[in-house]
Amino acid sequence: MANNLSHKSFKDFEDIPEMDIFQRAKAHEEYLDYLKVSGYMNYRLLVTSGCGPEVTLEEFGTIRKGSYVSFVCNDYLGFTQHPEIKKAAMAGIEKYGTGAGASPLIGGYFEYHQALEDKLSAFFKRPKGSAIVYTTGYTSNSASLQCLLKKDDIAIVDMAVHASVYEGIQGTTVKRFLHNNLEALERILINVRDKYRTKMVIVDGVYSQDGDMAPLKNILDVTHQYGGVLLVDDAHGIGVIGETGRGAMEYFKVMNQVDIITGTFSKTFSNVGGYVIADPQLIAYLQFQSRQYAFSAAATPAISAVSRAIDLVDEEPFWQKKLWENIDYYRSGLTSLGLDIGTTSSAIIPVKIGDIEKNCEAGKLLLECGIYTNPIMYPAVSLKDARIRMSLMATHTKEHLDKALNAFDYINKKLNIALSI
């Protein structure tokens, strides 16, 4: 069985011809068992501590119970454990209770929501009314795109955008262009000129698997040159990139020109939820026309913590500075081991391995060395592009990073994963 399953991925169980849902779930369970027995089950591990650079895992399959240095948390500035942010969450709950009780349109729109919208508009240097808050980063993309783009429109997307974008563009025409390839984007824009009502180009500021940035200035210029609208999802750039942490848009000096910005509260802002920033008329349109906003309960009062987290990006810039010291140290440590970290220029650091089985083995050995990472495989990346993906935090210490570098050195000797020179 193991041989059979070693070349499978979760994607293979999305749909299986002739199998009803119970047969499919049974086949899927066999795959889960295979992963568990092989020591490759790095997914959905039970954490018994808080989110941070060190976490405690429960025993599971071959994984021992205990403390691990963790690189799986996108809490880039370490704000999930910031005392003031915790205090703001508790103050929100103390004042307003634990839930909003309804969707924003029918009784669930509270002053803490409005305060957060205002804070977001100001953070992105836009007029009041430029922000809408969703209950996940995922729906910030999927719900807003589903609402805005219909069949006579077109979404022109970089191949590496997040799954939430793909979900949002199912009801419209879609063209994909090679990752960060400006010529390919321009060719599509020329071909579709005058054929669609709204031509929306959709990119990430920082890409979630390679950690590289989109060349936003050039993308913006070419998009506007051919009458397109640009949407940038900067889930991984905010708090990390740009002089004041306003993301890839700040880095490329295009913050005011990007037509639509989407983002999340689950990374730098250390909570759950997301937002869209756009022209106030478009935001009002989303408030009343976007189904997930209209028919789903509003964010809970704990989201008051996000308003404080936004302030702290400006008030405590040393977290971003410390994060970058860690990124520079870790990147140079990995490259001096001869490992392939691709084109990352953010807090997301991949170690590219290529082969799926070797990648699984590397993830397992890292856990044995006390290092918790995410082995990423198809379909999240292409078949031959498996990698170990890590997120750095400002609160990682040099000892954490050295422990991981020593583990990679050991694994490289065992698996020979370095680039051949």
Q: What residues make contact with ligand PLP under the rule CB under 6 A?
A: 136-138, 141, 162, 164, 204, 208, 233, 235-236, 264, 266, 274
Q: How many residues does the chain have?
A: 421
Question: Which residues 6+ apart lie within 8 Å of 405 measured at CB?
Answer: 330, 333, 334, 337
What CA–CA distance (Å, rounded) separates 235 from 273?
11
What CA–CA distance (Å, rounded) separates 386 from 368?
20
Residue with Cβ nearer ligand PLP (337 or 349): 349
Which one-letter amino acid corresponds to residue 393?
M
Residue with Cβ nearer ligand PLP (63 or 80): 80
| Cβ-proximal residue to ligand PLP, closest one | 137
Q: What's 69-95 look like in SS3? A: EECCCCCCCCHHHCHHHHHHHHHHHHH
Closest alpha carbon to 67 in 392, 369, 376: 369
Residue with Cβ nearer ligand PLP (145 or 407): 145
Residue with Cβ nearer ligand PLP (266 or 320): 266
Residue with Cβ nearer ligand PLP (164 or 320): 164
Give me the half-sphere count of Cα atoms (radius 13 Å) on the Cβ side of residue 418. 16
Phi, psi angle pair for 349, to nearest 5°: -120, 115
Least Å distance, CB 164 to ligand PLP, is 5
Closest alpha carbon to 35 in 15, 68, 12, 51: 12
Q: How far is CA 237 from CA 211, 227, 262, 358, 412, in A?
A: 9, 26, 11, 30, 30
Q: Where are the beta strands (DSSP E) in 131-225?
A: 131-134, 154-158, 173-177, 199-204
Residue with Cβ nearer ligand PLP (203 or 312): 203
Residue with Cβ nearer ligand PLP (245 or 361): 245
Least Å distance, CB 233 to ligand PLP, is 5
CB atoms within 10 A of CB 265: 28
Question: Which residues 6+ apart lie within 8 Å of 64 measured at CB?
Answer: none
Least Å distance, CB 378 to ligand PLP, is 17
Question: Which residues 6+ apart lie within 8 Å of 209 measured at CB?
Answer: 160, 348, 350, 376, 380, 381, 387, 389
Phi, psi angle pair for 37, to nearest 5°: -65, -35
Task: Answer whether 349's CB lies under 8 Å from 333's CB.
Answer: no
Residue with Cβ nearer ligand PLP (104 or 405): 104
Residue with Cβ nearer ligand PLP (236 or 246): 236
